[in-house]
Structure 1
Amino acid sequence: MTPPSLLAALAPRRIAVFRALQLGDMLCAVPALRALRAAVPDAHIALIGLPWARAFVERYAALVDELIAFPGAVGFPEQPESNHGLPAFFARMRERRFDLAIQLHGSGGIANALLHQLGACADAGFVQPDEVPREGCFIDWPDALPEPERYLALMSALGAPAHDRRLTFPLTELDLDEYTALRTYHGIEDERLVLVHPGSQLPSRRWPAERFAAVADHLAADGWQIAITGTAAEAPLTCAVLGAMSAPALHLAGATSLGGLAALVAHARLVVCNDTGISHIAAAMASASVVIACGSDTRRWAPLDHARHRVLADYPACRPCMFRDCPYGHPCALNVQVEQVVETAREQLARAPGSLHEGTVSLSFEDLHHVA
């Protein structure tokens, strides 16, 4: 007789999920959170995440009920590395008496040690190859799987099989209103729109700005409307792209909220970008993309749909990269040529529209509202 899964045996009412990471990482966990919610629809699910993730929890309210802000710790570089806030944090967590704590942060090690301090009745997560066995539902870190599939593997082990593996990004009425205003103000033409996004959190993950500019010029010469996107903090980079271009382009850096950017991506015919958060937004919105992946582990981070999302990468011996700034002359970026990106972009633009765009030149707001 097959023993019951941990979820079936425990019937948890209060669940804490630890994943204190940035946007792209959080989007890759959405299928796992969806599977968890489907398995325990009445449980209260709290995300232990970075402070910014309050917006994530609000957007994914159907999957997550609450954000608990992680105070940071040594070994977790997404925030200032200090253990100062941990004693009070652990005390608050133990008072909550969670039935289950799930480590979705990474491969194990210090993340598991932190998880144990939450004081839940049962724990679940991943273990590294040399890590001591842990009580609860822990599986070996599935290093060969793409990022979303890793967390789905843990959900399956817990008793929450996946029935939907898509990345999704729900759009709100405010997002759609923002896009309407943006389209009117800038004269955006959905049927011609190509987004060029040169930014990335780490300099080692950025393809050169002048190469993005050259790609944009080629596509503009083909008749596409180019829009340069990015955050307000990335304005020097986006301005460098714009300044290196011969053709005119819309400069939208800092002009959108996250939701407004997602609506913009959903309307675009193509996104050309680095391997960063907007790549995962394009995957979630089912919008075609060309991703120049510098330094990252493409086996782990490449979108699952290899036809809709084309990844271009070079593989020197130093890859995958662990550096913020490349100390080796950045061969993984420089060995991806402008001609490769232009040719791939043209192939993507020539393809028949995908499922999200099928049967229409420009998406209706009703379609967008139900994308996720």
Structure 2
Amino acid sequence: MAAEVAALASVVSASAVAAAPDTEVWVLAGPRGRSAARLLPGIDELRVVGVPWITAVDRPVDARLVAEVDAVVAEGRFDEAIVLTSFHQSPLPIALLLRLAGVPRILGASVESSAGLLDERWIPGETFPEDIPEPERNLAIVGLAGYALAPGDDGRLHVELPPQRPAALDGLPPRYVAVHPGAQYPAREYPADHFVEVVRLLSAAGHAVVVTGGDHERALTAAVVGDTGVDLGGRLDLGGTAQALVGAAVVVVGNTGPAHLAAAVGAPIVSLFSAVVKPERWAPYGVPVELLGDQEAACRGSRATACPIPGHPCLASVTPAAVVAATERLLALRSSAA
């Protein structure tokens, strides 16, 4: 049995590994990756372990953490592990735990010397380019490990939608624009008052608008939706959100998780993209995108979680009228392709 333990990174890389014959695929994800991992096609097993050097989890690095990884490895009896991290994260800490747990072959990409922790080490910027989309980065890594996409796989993101459609989606109009105003970090948020005006302008132009958000974003979605939109804030889990986004003619969203979920269901995206990270790496992948935001702003590449520049110029400078115009362009493109 060949089995892969990987940090949740991209649907494309998981699909490539799953396409190999006689291969059982396990995903080892953090708590924040649990819901997304459950939507991945081709995954046989999911295990969740929170490691504080990847995700902000309130736990120490101690013997209990080591024992959790040991238990997963003992259960899976893996032949090899491919460690997939983001470009700014090292694969070596988890590689050390996997090595101590007895995984015989561990593969990954690292700018640091692996000193025996990785049986195969590929160097970002040398083995493959640095500034490429994250799905392509991870596909390059699993390709170097010997895995390729199945014939006919277009290399785009895909998820498996839950079979049950949430009741909250009953009665939605047949054609609508989805607006997701929240983001994980304030530095990546388009101003809420701008979103209010976006929804108003879209409604005035005759478009039905559906506003999505997590349970912690109920106040935001209620403020943004106005008197004309449909407020789904706090009413959907991640799978339900995917089902809402797949029905959207266009999705308006910042550079946050639901942008990639929208890409995975094939929706065109107006991307309100903060300059704190590079769009070459993190812009929505594989679908038509209108990228808005001043990518030359002073916060460029800072990876800041709170905007370090007064007035949040990289996004506040994007007018609601510009967002609506970008939405109209994508709607026209979708209509012409139908």
TM-score normalised over the length of structure 1: 0.79
Residue 70 (structure 1) aligned with residue 54 (structure 2): no
Q: Quote the offset at 1:146 in angstroms.
A: 0.5
Aligned to 1:19: 7
- SS of aligned partner of 1:215: helix
- Give the number of the structure whose residues are more often helix, by fraction: 1
SS at match of 2:164: helix
Q: CA deviation at 1:204?
A: 1.0
How far apart, CA to CA, are the structure 1 residues paired with 2:119 and 2:259? 34
Aligned residue in 2 for 1:217: 200
Aligned to 1:51: 31
Q: Are the counterparts in 2 of residues 94 and 120 from structure 1 also a CA contact under 8 Å?
A: yes
| Conserved 8 A contact 2:91-2:108 | no
1:171 & 1:110 partners in 2: Cα distance? 31
What amino acid maps onto 1:208 in structure 2? P
2 CA distance for matches of 1:144 and 1:266?
Answer: 29
Contact 2:245 2:262 (8 Å CA) reproduced = yes
CA separation in 1, counterparts of 2:202 and 2:283? 24
Among 115, 133, 136, which residue is 1:149 paired with? 136
Q: Give the gaps of 5 or more residues in structure 1.
A: 1-12, 21-25, 359-372
* Residue in structure 2 matching 1:37, options 11, 18, 41: 18
Give the match's secondary structure for 2:334: coil
* Alignment check: 8 A CA contact 2:66 2:97 kept: no
* Percent identical: 30
Unaligned runs of 5+ in 2: none
Task: Indicate whether 1:346 and 2:334 are aligned.
Answer: no
Q: In the alignment, which residue of structure 2 is the partner of 1:237?
A: 220
Per-residue CA deviations over 1:152-208 (Å, capped at 9, x if unaligned) read 101111111234211112123213xx2xx3344xx42122x1111100111111000
Instruction: Indicate yes or no: 2:74 matched with 1:95.
Output: yes
2:90·2:110 contact (CA, 8 Å) conserved in 1? no
Tell me: CA distance 1:37–1:328, structure 2 relative to 1, closer, same or farther (3 Å). same
Q: Map 1:206-355 onto structure 2 (within 5 A).
A: 206-242=189-225, 245=226, 247-294=227-274, 295-305=276-286, 308-315=288-295, 316-329=297-310, 330-353=312-335
TM normalised by structure 2 equals: 0.87
Matched, 1:188 2:172: yes
Q: What is the count of residue pairs matched by the alignment? A: 322
Please tell me whether the aligned partners of residues 275 and 296 of structure 1 are also in contact (alpha carbons under 8 angstroms). no
Aligned to 1:174: 164
**Residue 61 of structure 2 is aligned to residue 83 of structure 1:** yes
> CA, structure 1 residues 43+131, in 2 after alignment: closer, same or farther (shift >3 Å)?
same
Counterpart secondary structure, 1:154: helix
Match of 2:104 among 121, 131, 143: 121
